[in-house]
Amino acid sequence: KLIIKDLWFEKVPVRIYQPKPPSASQRRGVMFFHGGGWVLGSLETHDNLCRFIARESESVVVSVGYRLAPEHKYPAAYEDCLNTTEHFLSNTEHFGVDPARVIVCGDSAGGNLAAAVSQTLAGRSDLPRLRAQILIYPVLQALDFNLPSYQQNQRVPLLFRKDAAFYVLQYLNGNAINMEDLLAGSHIPVDIKLNYSKWLSPDNIPEKFKGRGYKPHVLLNCTTEVFEKTKRFCEPTLCPLLAEDKIIQQLPEAFILTCEYDVLRDDGLLYKKRLEDNGVRVTWYHLEDGFHGIVSLFEFCGLSFPSGKRALDNIANFLKSL
């Protein structure tokens, strides 16, 4: 049912999934950025997932094989995703895609890249506006690794709390030397943290998510030497939750998937609140029994989880509504 081609956009490998049956009108286009902590993952690991999205939503899906850390540090992955999206937005007619219906989508680190690309393109008048962003348990900040979900799910597979810190440091610095500082919260000065607390605070997370042994975390200070290595975490292209309101207000509508048993759950909840507070429409889907990585495990080595399939069906339905 699909025609699949491997191409290059702006020196970046992409795989394009096009539904075979001819379409009377132009199709939707989905730019897909895979997860894997910016370190793992490829066009292959997310092939089943992209096939499913293309088939079920009858959309053209472009999966992006962006450069990986630690060999290629931030902002390499972000730049590859941005450049391929700009290329696609400028060439939609070659793929039978409606330029007004292009969506960015990604899981985990890919959700981070999709959010960052959405923010960068929000203010651009030279390209068609993105229609929507689909963020599947996205990583959206690296200032606070002691949010309720980080405490509650610190040893829940497939993403342990310490792994989340490890990956984001690999992406930023190509090493994980400051991992203990990140976990303790002593990698960003208190005044800077307080500056962002209006957006990044447990107070913005609904009470019902604060059980299961959560304890408020004491703010620790940070040495200049450590901050030198971690200050780029304050850049919204790395941590999209920290973007200014004027950028957030211009964003396209969002679909955000969160899982109860996931250290990244609260990143999604905090971003949902920021978008809604700024008048951006959000479709939120929460898997009460979900864990990190459940969606990319779709038909992976014969595994499949019913709740992962439910999430995918919801994503396909959201796409069909656009």
- Contact indicator for 153, 160 with CB cutoff of 8 Å: no
State residue 26's pLDDT score. 96
Amino acid found at 277:
D
Q: Hunting for tokens 């000065």 — which residue is that? A: 189
Residue 268 pLDDT > 70: yes
Tell me: the pLDDT tens digits for 141-164? Answer: 999 999 999 999 999 988 999 999
Q: Each residue of 223-243: pLDDT tens digit?
A: 999 999 999 999 999 999 999
Residue 302 pLDDT > 70:
no
Tally Cβ neighbours within 10 Å of residue 65.
21
Question: Average pLDDT, whole number, for the chain?
Answer: 95
Token pair listed for 127: 């390209």
Residue 271: predicted pLDDT: 98
Mean pLDDT of 45-69: 97
Does the pLDDT at position 308 exceed 90? no
Residue percentage of the chain with pLDDT more than 70: 98
pTM tops 0.85: yes
pLDDT of residue 147: 96
The pLDDT of residue 234 is: 97
**Catalytic residue from among 80, 107, 262, 266:** 262
Give the mean model confidence (pLDDT) for residues 26-33. Answer: 98
Weakest mean pLDDT among 151-165, 250-264, 289-303: 289-303
Q: Does the active-site annotation cover 34?
A: no
- Report how far apart, in Å, the C-alpha atoms of 113 and of each of 67, 120, 124, 173, 241 are: 12, 11, 17, 17, 12
Q: What is the mean pLDDT of residues 246-254?
A: 98
User: Can you tell me the mean pLDDT for 208-221?
Assistant: 88
Q: What angle (nearest 5°) sits at the alpha carbon of residue 120, between those of residues 114 and 124? A: 125
Say how far apart CA 137 and CA 145 lie, in whole Å: 15
Q: Are strands 12-19 and 60-64 parallel, antiparallel or unpaired?
A: antiparallel
pLDDT band at 307 (very low <50, low <70, confident <90, very high): confident
Model confidence at 195: pLDDT above 90: yes
| CATH 3.40.50.1820, domain 2-142+239-321, yes or no | yes
Q: Has residue 262 got a pLDDT over 90?
A: yes
Q: What average pLDDT does this structure show over 284-308?
A: 82
DSSP state of 303: B
Please report, rounded to a whole number, the percentage of residues in the chain having pLDDT higher than 90. Answer: 90
| 299 has pLDDT over 70 | no
Task: Quickly state the pLDDT bin for 303 (edges 50, 70, 90).
Answer: low
pLDDT at res. 319: 98
199: Cβ contacts below 8 Å, ≥ 6 apart: 241, 242, 270, 274
What is the C-alpha separation between 139 and 317, in angstroms, rounded? 23
Q: Is the dihedral of CA 42, 44, 48, 54 positive or negative?
A: positive
The single residue of 57, 59, 63, 108 carrying the catalytic annotation is 108
Q: For 110-129, how does the pLDDT look when each residue is reduced to its tens digit (9 = 90+)?
A: 999 999 999 999 989 999 99
pLDDT category at 214 given cuts 50, 70, 90 is confident
Instruction: Indicate if 292 belongs to the active site.
Output: yes
Does residue 300 register a pLDDT over 80?
no
Q: Tell me the average pLDDT across 265-293.
A: 97
Coil/strand/helix, residue 300: strand
Exactly one of 34, 187, 292, 296 is catalytic; name it: 292
For the chain, the structural domain boundaries read: 2-142+239-321
What number is the average pLDDT over the span 57-78?
A: 98
Q: Report H helices in 198-290.
A: 224-230, 245-248, 265-277
